[in-house]
Structure 1
Amino acid sequence: MAESRTELLAWVNDLCQVSYTKIEQCGTGAVHCAIMDSIYRDVPLAKVKFAAKQEYEYVNNFKVLQAVFDKHKIDNAIPVERLMKCKFQDNLEFMQWMKKYWDQYFPGGAYDALARRGAQAGSKAAAAAVRANMAPLKKAVSSGVANGAAPGRNPAIAPAAFGAAKSSSDHVKKMDEITIQNTELKNMVEQAEKERNFYFDKLREIEAYVGEMLTNGTNPTTDSLTHIQSIMYKTEDGFVPPSDTDETETF
């Protein structure tokens, strides 16, 4: 099963020592290079712009990533143009693939992302800042696990991402409830329409039969009443008349 946005952000932030709050931020290509470096330890991270803000810097990062793919004969295509637009769905799907690839090929052991980036973001001040930002969250997650919360594979989720994830989770839950209610109402309407048509057709058939007897001047007989009764109790495939009940529904 593919990881959720929250799980991916937790993994990326922990592995690459960044503080991303949105999966769209992966559209710069920088963390993809770091992920590959954690596997092969041969990515020239000095060429990667981790603070990229311009499109040409994104292009540079993805050139580095493509070179890694070519070197290690990774067949999966990199949808550079779509990723650089920093849209949620495209970046989510590609990061899910990256996580799957990492799970398969990561050799294990510690990976010091800041040290691997060197002077670009590897100073003691930068490392201290990242650790300071992540320490409160790690403490909160650890506390949650101790109190019975389900532990995740990588608990270091950025605070803003955690709040956004909770809001998104509540929204999804509400939408699911509305969808279920809508489906139930639709089924009720369909059932009511079937019942309406079922009984209306009976009345029309009885009306036609009685009209025919009156036109022919026929007096009602036992056979006529029997025929009318057979119409009233006739059923159709796929429809079961509601059963009688003595229970009174209250609102």
Structure 2
Amino acid sequence: MVVNVFISAVTTDTLSRKDAVAWVNNLLKSHFTKVEEMANGAAYCQLTHLLFSNSINLRKVKFNPRSEPDILTNWKVLTTSWKDLGIDKPVDVEKMKKGKFQDNMEFLQWFYKFFKANLNVEPEDYDAVGSRFGEDLPALKGASGPRPAVASVRPVVAQTMKTKTTMQPVAPVPATKAAVAPTVRNGARPAPATSAGNRRSETSPNEELLKQEIEKQKTLAAEWETMAKDMESEREFYYNMLQRVEALVHEADELKATTIEVETLKKVLYDGNEETVENGDDNSQLNEALNANIDDTDTF
């Protein structure tokens, strides 16, 4: 009798991703490195075969599927077997086959609990590798795929040897640079005799244009940086001037005065700012304009 289980977010008997992968590898003598590799359903087919003897025909299982139809076949074999066993767990094959961690981890957590609930005897004598006919799970890199047939190479070698033995001698050709033909080995003709080093050392027109454009952009960036510094200095100059004038206005408000002495204002505008003295002629035109405006009236 199959014991159906459920799992939720508050279930406590769950495994971490590393423990879950290690648990599967221990049972199946496999070498999974992450949960997502079980998305093709082959591992669940063999785990069901281990848990319920002869419940699945493992010859129908594609342990290392190479296409989506093979993956769908595995899940069909699994769900058909579960239906016969009375397992009521719904399987969203569309989600599982995408190989996303969250979906596959939740499914593996459920299967771990289901396996523990239905395990009667520890599977110590289960031959995991033999049950899947000696196939690696998953396939090791470099070990999958059909090996090239040696017999198919021998006729080519024999034909090549026969051609060499039946070739007629050819009169020698004067050893000049123009008459020397490139040597052909194993049917592959070498590349034309050009100097790769010389080609690399030569600078193409595109590279020259690119270098010129880079230098141009560097010069432009330096000009913009200088301009930005000048604008920043000018901003600070006028900001400090405005602060001093504002201080005079506040002082007049506190004294309840309605005017500000022109000499006091001139002192703030010209004598009180160190940057004005340093700049000198740079602000001479501004100073003259301010003097002209201020001299028109005695007070503000």
Higher helix share: 1
Structure possessing the higher radius of gyration over alpha carbons: 2
